[in-house]
Structure 1
C-alpha cells in the first residue's frame, strides 16, 4: 500500500522554480488533481442524498396538507419547490455551518486533510443509501439522524471515539427528544384555542375569519424576523440590529393582517354565503365531507376547501361541524416548507460543503460561509426527489397515521414550522420529521381517543431508532474500504 498523500508531502515535493504558481498554490493544485475524482463522486452522492431527502422529508412537510385535501399532490410539490428554496437560501446557512464544523473535531485532520475529504464521501454514501431504502419502504425517517449517524461511523473508523465532539452530539440528541414534544405541545395548544374560539361557536366560519388575521400577523412577523435578524452575511443581513429587525417584522406582519382583513376577508365571506345553499342541501348531515370549488373562487383568494366532521365521541356544547378555510392551510403549508428548507436542506449538503472547502483550500479550517449556489444545488436535488418519489411517503404521514382535516392540519403544520424555524436560527439540526409526527400524534390524541393509528406510529418510531446505527454502519464500511484502497 502506498504512503498516504498528505498536504505536507505535497509541499515537500512541489517544485519551487519553473512555475508561475508559488509553492503553496502549486501544492494545492496537486492536491486538487489527486482528489478531483472524490469531488465528482461527492456531488453525485450529495445529489442522491438530496433526492432521498426530497422523497422523504419534504413529503413529510406537506403530507398533512395533501391528507386533508387542501392541496393536490401537484400543487403541494409546486409550493414545496418555491418555499424550500427560500428557506434554504435565507436561513439555512446556520445549520450547515453547525453540521460541518462542530459535530466532529476537524483539527485532528489538520495534517491529513485528505482523510476528512474522503470522510465526507462516506457520510454522503451512508446517508443516501439509508434514505433511499427507507423511501422505498414508505418510512418517514430523518435526514438529520442519517447524517449524524454517518458522521459517527466515519469518525470511529479514522479516530475512534475521541474524534467526536460529544458535547455537540448531546445537544443534538437532546433536541431530537425536545423537538417533537415541543412541536406537539404547540400544535395541541393551538388546536385547543381554535376548538374553543372557532369550532364551538355558533358561526365557526365567521369566528375563524376573525381569528385568521392574528395567525397571518404571527406567521409573517416570525418568518421575517428569522430571516433578517442575524441573517446571512452574503445577503448583507448579519449587522441588522434587534430593534430594526423587530420593527420590520412587526410592520410586515401588520400589513399582512390588514391586507387579509380588509381585502381578502370580504371576498371570502361573499363566496361562502353565495355557496351556503349548496352546503346545506343534504350534504352537511354526513359524518365527513370535503368539497372544493376552484372555478368559483374570488380573484386572488386561491382555492378554498371546507371540511365538516363529527367528532368520534360526543362533547357537551360542541358544534358537530368543523369549518376551516383551506386558504389558511395553504399559507401554513408554505410556512412549513420554508422552515423545512431552513433546517433540513442544510443537513443534506453540509458534507458536500465541507468536501468542497477542503478540496479548494487543502485545509480543514473551513472559514468561508456556505455559498448560495451550493444551497441551490441541494434544493434542486431535493425537489427532484420530491417530484419523482414524494408521493410514497406523503400517504403515510398525511393519511394513514391519523385522520387529518383542514383544521387539525393547520395546527399540525403551524406547530412543526415554529419549532423547526426556531431551531434553525439557533443552529440546531433537528428533525422536521420528528416535529411533524409529534404534532400529528398530539393533535390526533386530543381529537379523540382513537385519533392515532398506533401501529403506523410504532413502525415510524422503529425506523427512527434504526436510522442512526444503519447509516453509521454503512458510512463506516465505506470509510474502511477507502482507507484500505486509497489512503
Structure 2
C-alpha cells in the first residue's frame, strides 16, 4: 500500500506540474478575493466614520494582517487542512485528493470575486469549508468527513454574528451611559479609555500566546504564564495611556477643533451669506436633552437605550477615533490570524502531496512559512485593488457610523 502511494506521488510530480502551477494561481485568486472582501470588512467602519482614510486603512490592514497570519494563522491552516476530512481515505486515490484541492481553490476564488464585484460582504471560511465538503461528498460520499468539526464550524457561523451583535450593542449602551450622556463627555471618555486599552491589549496578547506561535518558540508556554503576561501588558498599556498619553490626546483634540472652527469662520461663502460665527464657536458645547427615567416599562426602555436623534459632541467623537484605530488594527490582526489561512490551506495540502519525501500521505508537517507569506501577499494585493467596493458597503451603505458607534 505504502509503495503504491509513493509511486502515485512520483507520477504526480512528473505529470501534473501544470496542475500545481494552476493551483498556485487559483490560490492567489482566492487570497486576492479574500483581501478585497473579508479584509475590507474589518476596516470598513473606520473608513466609513472618517477616522481613517482609505490609504491609511490599507497600510494598517497590510501590517496587522501580516502579523496575525504569521504569528497565529498557521494553526487555522492546519485545522482546515487536516481536521475537516480524513485524508487517509485517499491513500488509494492520491490524484483525486490532489485535484480536489484545485477544485476547492477554484470554487472559493470564483465566489469571492463575484461577491466582491457585487459589493456583498461574505466569508472566506464559508467558501473554503463548503468547497471542501462538496468535493469530498462527490468523491467519497459521507465517508471520512469529520462531522463534529464541521458542526462546530457551522455553529460559529450562527453564533459569531449574534454574539458580536449583542456585545457591540452592550458596549455602545455602556459608552452612552458612562460617557456620551455626561455633562463633560470628553473628561469621562478619558477616564474610560484606559479600560478599553487594557481589555484590547490583554485579550489579543492572550490569544497570541495561548495559540503558541512556533515562530516565537511559544508552543509549550503554560496557560497561567500566558494569562499573567497578558494581564501585565494590558495593565501597563492602560497606565501608560492614563499618565502619559491622555493629556496629549486632549491637546490634540482641542487644537484640531480650534483649527476646524477657525477654517469655518473665515469661509468666504459663510461671510457672503451673513452667517454668524458665534454659532460655530458655541457648537462643540451644545448639550443633548437629558433622557429622564420614568417609573414605567416604556419609560425605562426609552431611558436605557440610546436616543436615536442624539447629537454627539464632536470633541468626544475625536476622542473615540483614537480607540477606533486601535481596535481596527486588532480586528485586522484577528482576521489575519484566522481567515488569511483559509486561502492557503488547500495550497498547503497541494504542495504536501506534490513534494512529499516519504511514503506516508498523512499531512503532519507544519505549514511552510513561504506558503503563509504567499497568502499574505495575495490578500494584500486584493485589498489594495478592489477593497474599496466592500469598504464602501460596510462603512457607508449599511448604517450611519461615527467613531463612538
Q: What band does the TM-score fall into relative to the shorter chain? A: 0.7 to 0.9
Q: 1:157 aligns with which of 116, 138, 143?
A: 138
Superposed counterparts of 1:476-487, under 5 Å: none
Q: Give the Cα separation in 2 of the matches to 1:39 and 1:64.
A: 38
Residue equivalent to 1:186: 167
Q: Give the Cα separation in 1 of the matches to 2:391 and 2:334.
A: 18
- Asked if the contact 2:30–2:112 (Cα under 8 Å) also holds between the matched residues in 1, the reply is yes
- Asked if the contact 1:230–1:239 (Cα under 8 Å) also holds between the matched residues in 2, the reply is no
Q: Cα distance 1:309–1:138, how it changes in 2: closer, same or farther (>3 A)?
A: farther
Q: Cα distance 1:143–1:206, how it changes in 2: closer, same or farther (>3 A)?
A: same
Q: Give the Cα separation in 2 of the matches to 1:118 and 1:277.
A: 63
Note the alpha carbon deviations across 1:335-380, whole angstroms, 9 max, x for none: 1100110111011111111111111116431001122221111110
Structure 1: 5+ residue stretches without partners: 1-5, 15-26, 284-306, 409-487
- Asked if the contact 2:9–2:94 (Cα under 8 Å) also holds between the matched residues in 1, the reply is no
- Asked if the contact 2:181–2:290 (Cα under 8 Å) also holds between the matched residues in 1, the reply is no
> Is residue 2:369 matched to residue 1:369?
no
Superposed counterparts of 1:395-414, under 5 Å: 395-408=392-405
Q: Give the Cα separation in 2 of the matches to 1:56 and 1:363.
A: 37
Which has more helix, going by share of residues?
A: 2
Note the alpha carbon deviations across 1:134-180, whole angstroms, 9 max, x for none: 11111111111111111122112211233422222111111110011
Residue equivalent to 2:105: 124
Residue equivalent to 1:329: 324
Q: CA deviation at 1:56?
A: 0.5
Q: 1:177 aligns with which of 141, 144, 158?
A: 158
Q: CA deviation at 1:278?
A: 5.8
- Asked if the contact 2:30–2:109 (Cα under 8 Å) also holds between the matched residues in 1, the reply is yes
Q: Give the Cα separation in 2 of the matches to 1:196 and 1:279.
A: 28
Residue equivalent to 1:99: 80
Of 118-127 and 108-117, the range deviating more from structure 2: 108-117
Superposed counterparts of 1:237-276, under 5 Å: 237-274=218-255
Residue equivalent to 1:24: none
Q: 2:355 aligns with which of 360, 367, 391?
A: 360
Of 103-112 and 271-280, the range deviating more from structure 2: 271-280
> Is residue 2:57 matched to residue 1:60?
no
Q: Cα distance 1:68–1:156, how it changes in 2: closer, same or farther (>3 A)?
A: same
Residue equivalent to 1:477: none
> Matched residue pairs, number?
366
- Asked if the contact 2:34–2:112 (Cα under 8 Å) also holds between the matched residues in 1, the reply is yes
Residue equivalent to 2:339: 344
Residue equivalent to 2:197: 216
Q: Give the Cα separation in 2 of the matches to 1:314 and 1:209.
A: 21
- Asked if the contact 1:54–1:385 (Cα under 8 Å) also holds between the matched residues in 2, the reply is yes
TM, length-normalised to structure 2:
0.84
Of 170-179 and 246-255, the range deviating more from structure 2: 246-255
Residue equivalent to 1:458: none
Q: CA deviation at 1:8?
A: 4.5
- Asked if the contact 1:308–1:321 (Cα under 8 Å) also holds between the matched residues in 2, the reply is no
Residue equivalent to 1:393: 390
Structure 2: 5+ residue stretches without partners: 265-283, 293-302
Secondary structure at 2:84's aligned position in 1?
coil
Secondary structure at 2:119's aligned position in 1?
coil
Q: CA deviation at 1:31?
A: 3.6
Q: Cα distance 1:277–1:30, how it changes in 2: closer, same or farther (>3 A)?
A: closer
- Asked if the contact 2:38–2:122 (Cα under 8 Å) also holds between the matched residues in 1, the reply is yes
Q: CA deviation at 1:210?
A: 1.1
> Is residue 2:86 matched to residue 1:89?
no
Residue equivalent to 1:144: 125
Q: Cα distance 1:29–1:314, how it changes in 2: closer, same or farther (>3 A)?
A: same
> Is residue 2:208 matched to residue 1:227?
yes
- Asked if the contact 1:230–1:240 (Cα under 8 Å) also holds between the matched residues in 2, the reply is no
